[in-house]
Structure 1
Amino acid sequence: MPTVMSNHFSVKCGAFLAIAACALALPPAAGAGVQIWFSAAGNPVPVVRDGTTIRAAVEQLLAGPTPAERGQGIRSAVPLRTPLLSVTVERRIVTVDLGARFAAGRDEAALGGRVGQLVRTVRAIPSVRGVRILIEGGVPVGLFPGYDLRRPVAAPAERSTPAPQTRDLQQRLVDLGFLAPSGVTGIADVQTSTAVLGFQKWANLSRDGALGSTTVATLVRATRPSPALRVPGRRIEVQLRRQVGLLIQGNKVVRTVHISSGTGGLTPRGSFSIYRKERYSWSVPFKVWLPWASYFTGGIAFHEFAPVPTYPASHGCVRVSRYDAPMLFGFAESGTRVDVFDEAALS
């Protein structure tokens, strides 16, 4: 799944609504109607509309200001006729899936305005603690935990927000396919660092495994990686320059993992397929057990090994961390295609 930097936005502001997704009803104390946020003279302004569900609030926002409201100078940054694909609620998180029209254009300020209106509108509903925005079912592409967008922002000094929390950033890594859902612990542990290394490699950042300011700033605006090749079916791309492995199904990246290939170019380039799998494989030349081994050419395999440095360091195999090796082993079925290449050679 695509390039790391994007002008598309997505917002996930904390956690979410503890009601069944099928109901989507407002709490009894929500008051008459729903509060819809537009703008006037560059400032956020609310209007009250009829409605009793979260979906109704979003639909009213997408419908835009009424002619009377426009006569009062009220405007919307959300493009007219933006399709609403779905609204779901899970664990007090409201997920709004919109058509691509919502993210159209390259004006970052306009996109930010759209996101702000949607988040303010949904978070005006009591009990909502967070909003996730998807574009046509894609992953969230922005993370702004701690925002209280129910209040107008009147001065630049009020626009600063708390730094994203570890749990939010871990969820972001899950959303982008760098971390397993079980890794969302709120603790910046080794598993998180391993996922961060994979992200830093993909984003061409300094590779230290730490959630520093540059990494976080890039992470909150990133999109899921996309394959370099367009090939149908289940396969794995090993991108040697980045030192990552992309697990791909139907030209969509399921997971991106931090790997270390053969030093000095020892990992063969080309297209291969998984032909042998062993839960524990004994390496005769190096006299060591190789857990979760999936062989794709000769004696070259994906397997668990420690350490997995940020650079090519193996004797030719593709090293994978203990956090990703079992998952990759399960994905790499017999016959699964494996493409190994230097990305620069494709350009």
Structure 2
Amino acid sequence: MRMSLGKAVAIGTLSAAALVPAVAAPATAFAVAATSPVQAQANPTLHFGDKGPAVTRLQQRLIALHYDPGTVDGQYGSQTRFAVWAFQKAQGMHPNQSAPVGSKTWAALEHPKVPKPLVKSGAKNRAEVDLTHQLLYIYKSGKLVLISHVSSGRAYYYQNGHKINARTPTGSYAVYRKAKGWETGPLGKLYKANYFYRGYAIHGEPEVPLYPASHGCVRTPMHTADIVAKLLPLKTKVYVKGKAPA
């Protein structure tokens, strides 16, 4: 199975403290990126594997908007791709494996849509799992602080010739147990798992594809899992809504 504002850590590393509400004036190392609009026409189309200052601007802007592109290093690697996927999905786009960042995405980065809460009267500190769009939203003190790409449970899988339901359960839950690092469950290894219902958890996983692929858990990218673990203490409410794509 499977962020109150604080000074950001040295530029290049994202932490829970560096994730701040867009509605506030961020007093962080990324204040310029958060308050100065991205000039779409001045930025080239980027692809996975690209390097340079445009990638750095992309990473800084994503952090300012509460996504996790990983280390701000000007390299378009896997973690930045995960963040681009999340951003594009939240903007109503349909990302693909190569995750190009063209004029449409740059324009959206300049004037982004803020996702609406899945639960209007939910707890102020909560996680929302949007199965329909394969996204995770985390709120602290009622403000959205993290948006992440995820991969939830697929329809089913086979074990010893038996067809087993692998859908992620929907409903209202709470984190009841946390793992400090890797641990092995009946269906594989989970990284920093935040268990919210029976053996189901929000956890890190090296492989987080653009489709539901887990045995029922909610997979997050590995780097993001470190942040999620800090943002979801025990008893944090977890709401799982929607229907995963087939």
The TM-score, its normalising length taken from structure 1, stands at 0.52
Partner amino acid, structure 1, of 2:170 = R
**Alpha-carbon contact 1:296-1:338 (below 8 Å) kept:** yes
Residues 183 and 223 (structure 1), Cα distance of their counterparts in 2 relative to 1, 3 Å cut: farther
Residues 167 and 333 (structure 1), Cα distance of their counterparts in 2 relative to 1, 3 Å cut: same
2: CA distance between counterparts of 1:245 and 1:88? 22
1: CA distance between counterparts of 2:169 and 2:36? 34
Partner residue of 2:137? Answer: 246
Does 1:340 find its partner at 2:231? no
**Alpha-carbon contact 2:177-2:194 (below 8 Å) kept:** yes
Partner amino acid, structure 1, of 2:93 = L
Per-residue CA distance 1:17-70 (angstroms, 9 max, x = gap): xxxxxxxxxxxxxxxxxxxxxxxxxxxxxxxxxxxxxxxxxxxxxxxxxxxxxx
Shift of 1:191: 1.5
SS in 2 for 1:199: helix
Partner amino acid, structure 1, of 2:105 = T
Shift of 1:260: 0.5
Partner residue of 1:178? Answer: 67
Residues 141 and 299 (structure 1), Cα distance of their counterparts in 2 relative to 1, 3 Å cut: farther
Q: 1:166 aligns with which of 55, 78, 87?
A: 55
Q: 2:171 aligns with which of 267, 270, 284?
A: 270
Gaps of 5+ in 1: 1-85, 96-130, 133-138, 146-160
1: CA distance between counterparts of 2:215 and 2:26? 48
Query: What is the RMSD of the two structures over their aligned residues, measured on CA atoms?
Result: 2.8
Partner residue of 1:108? Answer: none
Per-residue CA distance 1:236-267 (angstroms, 9 max, x = gap): 00001110000111221100011001112710
- Matching of residues 189-204 of structure 1 within 5 Å: 189-204=77-92
Shift of 1:168: 1.4
Partner amino acid, structure 2, of 1:312 = P
Gaps of 5+ in 2: 1-23, 45-53, 156-165
- Aligned-residue sequence identity (percent) comes to 33
Which protein is bigger by CA-based radius of gyration? 1
Partner residue of 1:256? Answer: 147
2: CA distance between counterparts of 1:267 and 1:183? 30
Does 1:235 find its partner at 2:126? yes
The TM-score, its normalising length taken from structure 2, stands at 0.72
1: CA distance between counterparts of 2:142 and 2:90? 17
Partner amino acid, structure 2, of 1:162 = A
2: CA distance between counterparts of 1:278 and 1:213? 41
**Alpha-carbon contact 1:176-1:223 (below 8 Å) kept:** no
SS in 2 for 1:236: strand
Shift of 1:88: 9.8
SS in 1 for 2:81: helix
- How many pairs are equivalent? 198
SS in 2 for 1:219: helix
**Alpha-carbon contact 1:227-1:252 (below 8 Å) kept:** no
**Alpha-carbon contact 2:134-2:150 (below 8 Å) kept:** yes
Does 1:282 find its partner at 2:184? yes
Residues 331 and 88 (structure 1), Cα distance of their counterparts in 2 relative to 1, 3 Å cut: closer
Residues 214 and 331 (structure 1), Cα distance of their counterparts in 2 relative to 1, 3 Å cut: same
